[in-house]
Amino acid sequence: MKIFGIFGDPIEHSLSPAMQNAALQTLGLDACYHPFRVPQDKLKDALLGAAAMSFSGLNLTIPLKEKALELDILHPDDLAAAIGAVNTVSFGPQGKMSGHNTDGAGALLALKDAGVRIKGSNVLLIGAGGAARALAYTLEREGAEISIANRSLPRAHELAASVGAMGFCLCDLDRLVPQSDIIINATSVGMRDGGARLFDSRLIKEKHAVFDIVYNRETELLKDARAAGAVAIDGVMMLVYQGAKALEIWTGLKAPVQVMEKAVRDALQERQKKATAAE
């Protein structure tokens, strides 16, 4: 049996196991996909352990995507090196580990699915972590004008400089939102219940396209976008498309995208039912 998995911390929110196990079953492979909680300081040990146990592939999520590039045991491809983050690991002969990044491709397909025009658009990207790096790199290649706002201003400036964008702090959001065509949340804000908002919801207008990469729940940002009549895009299709690309890297087979989307949305509905029942 082939073993695949996802490393992250936290990891209990991940729907990648439901998605990838459905895909593996549809493809008729004798394989399974499991989640593993791995702190940053244990990533190297975890990757070496996976290689020793002949894992066939891994995904990395928060907060491991950038950390992976610091490890001498992992060899990033040109795209992952340019982005500065790894979200997919493949294993070659003698356990050689290669790093890839499929986040940018996944986000781009999700935006295009929703009919969002990227070239020439003013994009406000909130966040400067691994997913934000992939988005910034991809959007720049698509011809977007990008502003990057982040809690840490130096990190915003560093990422902005790498893609010819402008860097700002979160305190600038009230000024940046009205100037934007596309608003993208690439932070973990909204991942948990609690009503957290990055900025005043009244700033969102019908003209906006709002994309939140959080996929495990409908975030306050997306609720505000729908209420304003704006285009609202959740993170499900980004998850599906990046996962499909990862699966194709590992297996060489065409991923069953529709099966993967259904598995994610079914799992989300089941999670919501349990949460409602527990209230």
Closest CA to 8 of 178, 239, 272: 239
Residue 204 three-state SS: coil
pLDDT of residue 19: 98
Cα Rg, the chain, nearest whole Å: 18
Q: 234 burial class (0-12, 13-18, 19+ CB within 10 angstroms)?
A: buried
Phi, psi dihedral angles at 223 (to 5 degrees)? -60, -45
Percent of the chain clearing pLDDT 70 (strictly above): 99
d(CA 5, CA 16): 9
pTM score, two decimals? 0.87
Q: 194 burial class (0-12, 13-18, 19+ CB within 10 angstroms)?
A: exposed
The answer to whether the beta carbons of residues 85 and 109 sit under 8 Å apart is: no
pLDDT of residue 93: 86
**Any idea which residues carry the catalytic annotation?**
65
Q: Give me the residues of the chain with pLDDT under 50, please.
A: none
Instruction: Note the pLDDT tens digit of each residue in 105-134.
Output: 999 999 999 999 999 999 999 999 888 999
Strand-pairing partners, residue 6, are: 35, 59
Q: Which domains does the chain have, with CATH numbers?
A: 2-101+238-278 (3.40.50.10860), 104-234 (3.40.50.720)
Closest CA to 186 of 240, 236, 244, 127: 127
